[in-house]
């Protein structure tokens, strides 16, 4: 039994049985230990951004952490953007980063770097395990940290000699996750008083308050009291569609967000952050609620949000018999004619299989998707939470590993898709049931709007060279084929619908390049 064996046994004992990996020499004993334990599913990503983004998608759907395996500082650095996104999603994640043997560090070999310093800004917890005898206890501590509500990033750095030296065979068991904290009675009382004051009040929800049962309670409160519901602009996971409660999100464009919130006199945040603009724009406000709006943080993301909502409903005297308002199932028509973002949303809405998981990194092309899909088959909706593009394709991989019986629909903008397109290879290698829709507008379209919004004027030659990706046009059918994923190109709504019907009726990875 060496340190690496102790690590994998501790992971398995802690319920961590998926490892998204991209290994190197310093992790070879870890790889050997994984090799001896078939209970651990090892999934190779051909770039660390795939590894960390997949771990995020897995955690969002499994409600528990996966492990990642990355190679020293540079491997971790490659994966950090999606660790950032995971942190913003409150996803539990356990990163294991190999390092040189402790005695080798003094020689400053080429791959030496300060891994702890790289890890810290994106991690809630960082530890280097210097001795094999500490591996199991440290791994158990890392699991416990990752599982702490609402989900945290733990990064454990494992020097090669801590992995290969002999370790005691006693395996540490991670402390079970503490139950989510109940909100303060005073917070509930204040919210009740605010709602009863007669002022225009909005409940803003995020995190697990966007799961179906919590949303039903929120809907009952809304019906009984007249408060309005709104979700944070981007959320890790929302349960929506037919038979679920409809909830809109705060829009991304500042003028739309200001407009959506202009009448709010009181905002009560439940697991959500009070709304701010994604970026600052000259002459525009940073805070999206109107001046003078009273903001109450009723519950933090790590609180028991379902309990907080149920308690609030009780205190408000919402009748137990009052039913939530649920979306009726709609028979949605298939689009015809030109292929544009609305046609794609309508086709997806009409053809979405029951309990699909939608991973949305459609950037500017999917803004209307929400409004088309309230009456679509019930589904989970996963978004980019941290704004660092390159999450969508890996997110779909992770969700598919967590939920092998569910169809994954990956709504992917073309520019963002190029950051981590290696995820397609993992889809093929693991035969994941993912249909990827590429919004092929051959531009960083959103940045053209942003260029104007920040007051930079009109893009000239140099700026356009940085905003368009049309020369040469990316050939997504070939990119997919080169990674083992079958693909077609669609240029009309009819072609797109036919391709999506085909993809919905079969299992395994498939990609549709929707040329816009």
Ligand X SMILES: Cc1ncc(C[n+]2csc(CCOP(=O)(O)OP(=O)(O)O)c2C)c(N)n1
The values of phi and psi at residue 48, to 5°, are: -65, -25
Question: Does 233 sit near ligand X (CB under 6 A)?
Answer: no
Question: Judged by CB under 6 A, which stretch of 106-114, 194-202, 282-290, 381-389 contacts ligand X?
Answer: 381-389
Q: How far is the CB of 280 from ligand X (least distance, A)?
A: 15
Question: Judged by CB under 5 A, which stretch of 120-128, 146-154, 395-403, 437-445 contacts Mg ion?
Answer: 437-445
Query: Residues of 218-253 as b/e, b for ≥16 C-beta within 10 angstroms?
Result: bbbbbeebebbbbbbbbbbbbbbbbebbbbebbbbb
Question: Judged by CB under 6 A, which stretch of 31-39, 146-154, 386-394, 455-463 contacts ligand X?
Answer: 386-394
Which spans in 148-262 are helix H? 160-164, 185-196, 212-225, 254-260
| 303 versus 414: smaller Cβ distance to ligand X | 414
- DSSP tag of 336: -
Interacting residue with Mg ion among 22, 85, 91, 441 (CB under 5 A) = 441
Question: Does 6 sit near Mg ion (CB under 5 A)?
Answer: no
Interacting residue with Mg ion among 415, 422, 434, 435 (CB under 5 A) = 415
CA–CA gap between residue 230 and residue 417 (Å, rounded)? 29
Question: Does 413 sit near Mg ion (CB under 5 A)?
Answer: yes
Question: Judged by CB under 6 A, which stretch of 64-72, 99-107, 195-203, 388-396 contacts ligand X?
Answer: 388-396
Q: How far is the CB of 385 from Mg ion (least distance, A)?
A: 20
Beta strands in 414-471 (DSSP E): 434-440
Which spans in 293-421 are helix H? 305-315, 341-351, 369-372, 392-402, 414-417
Interacting residue with ligand X among 59, 389, 423, 512 (CB under 6 A) = 389
| 125 versus 451: smaller Cβ distance to ligand X | 451
CA–CA gap between residue 201 and residue 83 (Å, rounded)? 35
Q: Which two tokens stand for residue 85?
A: 């996104």
Q: How far is the CB of 11 from ligand X (least distance, A)?
A: 29
Parallel, antiparallel, or unpaired: how do β-strands 153-159 and 93-99 relate? parallel
Residue partners of 357: CB distance under 8 A and separation at least 6 = 61, 379, 380, 382, 396, 399, 400, 403, 406, 407, 408, 409
Task: Find where tokens 């395994």 sit.
Answer: 508
Question: Does 417 sit near Mg ion (CB under 5 A)?
Answer: no
Q: How far is the CB of 468 from ligand X (least distance, A)?
A: 10
Question: Does 446 sit near ligand X (CB under 6 A)?
Answer: yes
Which residues sit opposite 228 in a β-bridge?
Answer: 202
Question: Does 416 sit near ligand X (CB under 6 A)?
Answer: yes
Question: Does 171 sit near ligand X (CB under 6 A)?
Answer: no
Q: Is 455 exposed, middle or buried (0-12, 13-18, 19+ CB in 10 A)?
A: exposed
If contact means CB under 5 to 8 A according to the sort of partner, which of ligand X, Mg ion, none does residue 293 touch?
A: none
Q: Which residue is nearest to ligand X (CB)?
A: 415
Question: Does 413 sit near ligand X (CB under 6 A)?
Answer: yes
Alpha-carbon torsion angle 333, 358, 371, 312, nearest 10: 130
Q: How far is the CB of 334 from ligand X (least distance, A)?
A: 24
Angle at 311 between CA 308 and CA 315, to 5 degrees: 135
| 352 versus 447: smaller Cβ distance to ligand X | 447
Using DSSP, state whether 69 is helix, strand or coil: strand
If contact means CB under 5 to 8 A according to the sort of partner, which of ligand X, Mg ion, none does residue 241 touch?
A: none
Interacting residue with ligand X among 16, 33, 81, 205 (CB under 6 A) = 81
Question: Judged by CB under 6 A, which stretch of 23-31, 61-69, 362-370, 494-502 contacts ligand X?
Answer: 362-370
Are 437 and 412 in contact by the 8 Å Cβ rule? The answer is yes
| 10 versus 365: smaller Cβ distance to Mg ion | 365
| Residues binding Mg ion (CB under 5 A) | 413-415, 441, 443
| Residues binding ligand X (CB under 6 A) | 81, 363-365, 387-390, 413-416, 441, 443-447
């Amino acid at each position: 039994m060496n340190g690496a064996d102790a690590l994998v046994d501790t992971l398995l004992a802690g319920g961590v049985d998926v490892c998204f990996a991209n290994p190197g020499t310093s992790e070879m004993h870890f790889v050997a230990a994984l090799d001896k334990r078939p209970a651990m599913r090892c999934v190779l990503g051909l770039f660390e951004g795939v590894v960390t983004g997949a771990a995020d998608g897995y955690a969002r759907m499994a409600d528990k952490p996966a492990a990642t395996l990355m190679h020293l500082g540079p491997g971790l650095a490659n994966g950090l953007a999606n660790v950032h996104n995971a942190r913003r999603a409150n996803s539990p994640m356990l990163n294991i980063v190999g390092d040189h043997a402790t005695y080798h560090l003094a020689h400053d070999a080429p791959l030496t770097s300060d891994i702890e310093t790289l890890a810290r800004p994106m991690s809630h917890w960082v530890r280097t395990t210097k001795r094999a005898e500490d591996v199991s206890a440290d791994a158990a501590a890392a699991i416990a940290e990752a599982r702490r509500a609402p989900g945290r990033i733990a990064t454990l750095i494992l020097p090669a000699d801590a992995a290969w030296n002999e370790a005691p065979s006693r395996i540490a068991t991670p402390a079970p996750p503490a139950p989510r904290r109940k909100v303060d009675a005073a917070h509930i009382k204040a919210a009740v008083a605010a709602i009863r004051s007669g002022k225009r009040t909005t409940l803003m929800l995020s995190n697990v308050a966007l799961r179906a049962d919590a949303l039903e309670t929120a809907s009952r409160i809304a019906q009984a009291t007249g408060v309005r519901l709104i979700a944070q602009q981007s959320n890790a996971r929302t349960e929506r569609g037919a038979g679920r409660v409809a909830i809109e999100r705060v829009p991304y464009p500042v003028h739309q967000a200001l407009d959506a919130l202009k009448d709010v006199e009181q905002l009560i945040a439940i697991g959500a952050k009070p709304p701010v603009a994604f970026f600052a724009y000259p002459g525009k406000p940073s805070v999206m609620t109107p001046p003078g709006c009273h903001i109450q943080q009723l519950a933090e993301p790590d609180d028991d949000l379902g309990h907080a909502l149920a308690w609030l409903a009780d205190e408000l005297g919402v009748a137990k018999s009052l039913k939530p308002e649920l979306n009726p199932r709609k028979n949605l028509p298939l689009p015809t004619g030109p292929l544009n973002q609305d046609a794609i949303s309508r086709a997806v809405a009409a053809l979405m299989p029951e309990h699909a998981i939608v991973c949305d990194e459609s950037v500017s092309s999917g803004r209307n998707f929400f409004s088309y899909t309230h009456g679509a088959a019930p589904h989970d909706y996963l978004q980019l939470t941290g704004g660092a593009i390159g999450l969508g394709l890996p997110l779909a991989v992770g969700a598919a590993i967590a939920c092998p019986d569910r169809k994954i629909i990956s709504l992917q903008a073309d520019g963002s898709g190029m950051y981590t397109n290696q995820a397609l290879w993992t889809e093929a290698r693991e035969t994941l049931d993912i249909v990827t829709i590429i919004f092929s507008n051959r531009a960083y379209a959103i940045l053209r709007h942003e260029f104007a919004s920040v007051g930079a004027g009109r893009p000239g030659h140099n700026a356009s060279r940085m905003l368009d990706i049309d020369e040469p046009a990316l050939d997504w059918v070939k990119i997919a084929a080169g990674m083992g994923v079958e693909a077609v190109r669609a240029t009309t709504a009819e072609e797109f619908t036919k391709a999506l019907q085909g993809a919905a009726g079969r299992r395994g990875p498939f990609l549709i390049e929707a040329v816009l």
